Amino acid sequence: MAVRGLAALVSVILILGVLGCSSSSHGSHDAYVTLPGSDQVTGFHVDNKNGSMTVISGAPFAAGATPTAAVIDPSNKFVYVANAGEGTVSLFTIGKGGVLSEVTPRTTVGTNPVSLAIDSAGGFLYVGNFGSNSLSVFSVASDGSLTAVTGSPFPTASPLSLLITPSGKFLYVANANTATISAFTLTAGIPSAVGTISTQLGPAGMAVDGSEHFLYVANSLAGNFSGYAIGTSGALSVIGGSPFTAGTHPISLTFSSSGNLLYVANQGSNNISAFSIDGNSGFPTAVTGSPFTAGTGPVMVVADPAGTFLFSVNQGSRNISGFSVDSSTGALKPNSQPQAGTTAVPSSMAFLH
């Protein structure tokens, strides 16, 4: 599960509010993709009109060993990258034209960090250390530098992905080896345990709806996804009918910008399942035409925060698939440039706000 987990950590980014984005005056906005096999991070300009992708000048950029997940701070000044192979987090500043410059030294975290989350105010960064069963928490300074908060690292079992609700009230951790989800409240960045709930085998990516009423997790080894209602305390309770069927090895989820359409990346069947979500019950109903063909081995699905496009990070075919989203039906249509190649196997993707 650990190997698949390294690919899946991507879903953490969906979670964070990191994926919000505003269109630039130049007709495009930027996204960054981690390339674990080559120890690099690449970047793309994404066209606001058709979703086509062009490589940022100077990309790919050198990172640490096995960069697996990336997250962007809300001010669009910094990119943080979890380097799973060396137990560090890299800080990059975002320069003119989207060019990245690393600020050293890197910050030491736990063993095998595979997931990241940042709160919507950009005040705290969370790192899931899969190998050391812990959660590192840092306060973020105005220059992007990190300082460990009191009590960090905090214990949690095999954290494969992290999700902070947009309001910043709750943190959820998918624990791959114990098939559980842990819930925490956040006060001044400090996580306090609410409780843990069992899920199906191989919990990986998570997503929360726009109203923060429901949370969903992809259970890769069980071949389904689970849905939970979020209580006022942050505690989770199972939605009626859960778990739900998607494709083969569902590994990542994301919501549309409208918050009522859920998309699931199916790594084993090379496609994306789409569902409309009932706002009262949380029950998912398959969108007409679902599932939609992606590249080979999709490990992350990302909704462009501009609200028009959806992207799939495909490890097997070493590319990014782009789709236009029909806002009325939720159906996906390949963009005019359906795929953008990467120089190595990709694992995650994050957009500027």
Q: pLDDT, tens digit, for every residue of 149-192?
A: 999 999 999 999 999 999 999 999 999 999 999 999 999 999 99
pLDDT at 13 over 90: no
For the 2-351 domain, the top CATH level (class) is mainly beta
Average pLDDT, integer, range 323-346: 94
Q: What global pTM score does this model have?
A: 0.92
Share the mean pLDDT of the chain. 92
Q: 1: helix, coil or strand?
A: coil
Backbone angles phi, psi at 14, to 5 degrees: -60, -30
Sign for the pseudo-dihedral over CA of 173, 8, 224, 282: positive
d(CA 217, CA 188): 26
What CA–CA distances, in Å, run from 59 to 82, 153, 161, 338?
18, 33, 27, 21
According to the model, what pLDDT value does residue 306 have? 78
Over the range 304-331, which residues count as b (16 or more CB within 10 Å of their CB) and which as e?
bbbebbbbbbbbebbbbbbbbbeeeebb
pLDDT category, 116, cuts 50, 70, 90? very high
Backbone angles phi, psi at 96, to 5 degrees: -60, 135
